[in-house]
A and B are shown apart, each in its own frame.
Chain A
């Protein structure tokens, strides 16, 4: 028990005396003699305000010397804090903190702070996986509280269109099918746009964000992956095209007239962007460590026919090279390879693959295997009440960063969360449609 310190107590006496309109007139000249003989000193607590009279300390302001026994205090003595009389005091024995804890936990209701209010489901990610998750949940439960946290505006669009927007001469503004705010209204969910998820605290079932903390009953991670950036490619000098916002800014930076663009990485995204930007009149240099584009699918031998299809386009493919540095020279860039070749560019795009950002998963201690490791059928992470889907997950260490599985993943998770009949997810080999419009390919 912390006792009010003597100084504040005496300060209050003055104030309270003033309130009560009386002045203390205690016989200071003849203080009461302490009668401490053997008995340990005891404490008495004021039932009204909690002030503790400690026999060992006394109450100097009232003329009670240290050691004055409670029974020896005159009956007209009153509490120095609140003014009630001696009869309102009772013996006080400070309980042990362990006893108090035990008692408090016995009287605590079975629910804890995390379940006091229905927190519902919190989804992290405003891309396709996030929205598919919200739709799947809403389809099964009309009233479940759903909160969607998105680092961007969470506008709904088809990401594959970013690879063919030039070929189709699409108006950039029309890529957005529905604003995030409209989609949120439609699904009757709370959208926290332009909000970064910072940390998961599984103990309190809280998601910490840059706009405050959200309690959850279930958390679904759908935040996707980020473009991996090899050390030779500084973030401030290289575009990575993995969402609409960055794509729009790249297009604005390119402008209408043909520009020199170096694309590092000739996988799916790099090849599709090279194809599309070349059709838009830009001069492309496409670099890759492998000797052919799309070399990830060696059995398909897709590289040679693709290069043949590109022969009339302004695409220069340089295989077998490793980028050593990117520098800014005035308004242009210089890309230098390890073997000493140099390429000048107005813009540089890195398309060297995707990686799941580990921050949130690490903060919650989620099992990790090249991405957030989830259980194959239920997509449950290693921590209870946390599921994950889309580009951020791996099943048995394998990522599958394609569109098709997302809706099926969302349905499995929604069933598990709402308690509907289970819909086990089945990982299938994906057929990849390469949107190189001059030579569309299907890879298996």
Chain B
């Protein structure tokens, strides 16, 4: 049927039910806890509710074989991040952990374990900050894998990994060493926090987003068998998922930006007469944000495009999101003035959340360095 033949109210695309469900959780139980999450409470119940609603699995192929929808996953994350950036970030952690398992093709990871993950019965994160920087030639690998009978022994420490708890798990990458020398490849696996040889240690206090379940992870002769292997070697696998991995992060930025813009309009009635003298007014930011969202949604249609040009576009959209986050959150504080500076105000909390988006891997500086590296014409060495 041609949509143009329908009455206007029916032709208008309806909002996916998922977004309404996420909004209800976000503006209900999550809004009540947002302050506490910022100060250190891990919202296990909200995370489970969001997962059960499908908010962290929209990007994965669905049970009825419909392909995953990255745009919807990003929109769902944004709905929560508008209320609580920390929760948006943890949703991203859960999203990519699911992606690692699903894309591994390892039956031990894709079956029951993935189903429990998708349903929120179990929670997980991602420890790819270090390896992503290693692949971008920014730092060295922190985990080492030594082949042993039936698997690998893992040693090393990752400084901070989020969305963790004693019974959680996360995707990690270790450089393979054979006979004490680098084997020139890496392997990726799901690291179970409760496995023998793993210790989670509390991180120093951060300026905000303290309830994200962030720990340093110490591995001492951790055995990883075939059931936990995501990819070996890891590099070709990462090339396949890197676009989706970075693109999904845009959901956190999107929520924070929209939340900041909303809080500017919230005081426009009283303070518009003075706020008109500020830079980055809400209408301007909204226009720039809407254009960025359009761009992100277009990129979200082809998350597995492995071309360099596509990845540069994804990195730049992510960088633009982080920059706009900083501008919008900061401008929202200027718009709200003292009331936004109250410790209880979401406006100052959002400034710290925006700073997090700008510094979490890949940080703005990493994104730019990687774009520069990928932009250089490749020549013989």
Contacts and interface: CB of A to CB of B under 8 A. Distances in A.
Contact of A100 (B36, B263, B268): B268
Interface string A20-50: 0000000000000000000000000100011
Given A113-B280, A203-B287, A8 B344 contact: yes
Interface stretch (A60-68, A194-202, A385-393, A403-411): A194-202
A326 B369 CA distance: 30
A51 B316 contact: no
A213 B323 contact: yes
B339 A100 contact: no
A240 B270 contact: no
B380 A4 contact: no
A199 to B, nearest CB: 6
Contacts of A45: 270
B375 A151 contact: yes
Interface stretch (A9-17, A163-171, A270-278, A420-428): A9-17
Contacts of A196: 371-372, 375
Contacts of A235: 377-379
B211 to A, nearest CB: 14
A367 interface: no
A177 interface: no
B320 interface: yes
A144 interface: no
Contacts of B35: 5, 7-8, 11
A239 B272 contact: no
A320 B19 CA distance: 61
Nearest to B263: A2
B272 A100 contact: yes
B343 interface: yes
Nearest to B319: A208
A246 interface: yes
Contacts of A348: 380
Contacts of A113: 279-280, 284
A236 B288 contact: no
B138 interface: no
B272 A12 contact: no
A70 to B, nearest CB: 17
A311 interface: no
B283 interface: yes
A199 B279 contact: no
Contact of B377 (A95, A201, A204, A246): A246
Interface residues of B, number: 51
A2 B342 CA distance: 14
B207 interface: no
B279 A116 contact: yes
A203 B290 CA distance: 11
B137 interface: no
Nearest to A227: B377
Nearest to A198: B316
Interface stretch (A104-112, A183-191, A434-442): A104-112
B338 to A, nearest CB: 7
Contacts of A18: none
A2 B346 contact: yes
Nearest to A209: B368
B177 interface: no
Interface in B272-312: 272-273, 276, 279-284, 287-288, 291, 309, 312
Given A11-B35, A104-B268, A113-B284, A226 B377 contact: yes
Given A196-B371, A201-B291, A15 B262 contact: no
Contacts of B32: 5, 7
B255 to A, nearest CB: 14
B342 A12 contact: yes
A194 B373 CA distance: 11
Given A81-B342, A198-B371, A203-B288, A2 B262 contact: yes
Given A8-B344, A100-B265, A104-B283, A210 B276 contact: no
Given A11-B344, A199-B316, A49 B338 contact: yes
Contacts of B316: 198-199, 208
Given A5-B35, A151-B375, A104 B269 contact: no
B291 A236 contact: no
B238 interface: no
Contacts of A9: 344
A211 to B, nearest CB: 7
A51 B339 CA distance: 8
Interface of B: 31-32, 34-36, 262-263, 265-270, 272-273, 276, 279-284, 287-288, 291, 309, 312-313, 316, 319-320, 323, 336, 338-339, 342-346, 368-369, 371-372, 375-381
18 contacts: A4-B342, A7-B36, A8-B35, A12-B343, A15-B343, A81-B339, A100-B268, A104-B282, A107-B273, A113-B280, A198-B312, A198-B375, A199-B313, A199-B316, A201-B288, A208-B316, A208-B319, A236-B378
Given A5-B34, A151-B376, A210-B368, 7 more contacts: A81-B344, A195-B372, A198-B375, A203-B287, A226-B377, A235-B377, A236-B378
5 A-B pairs with the lowest CB-CB distances in the bound complex, closest first: A8-B344, A235-B378, A196-B375, A50-B339, A210-B368
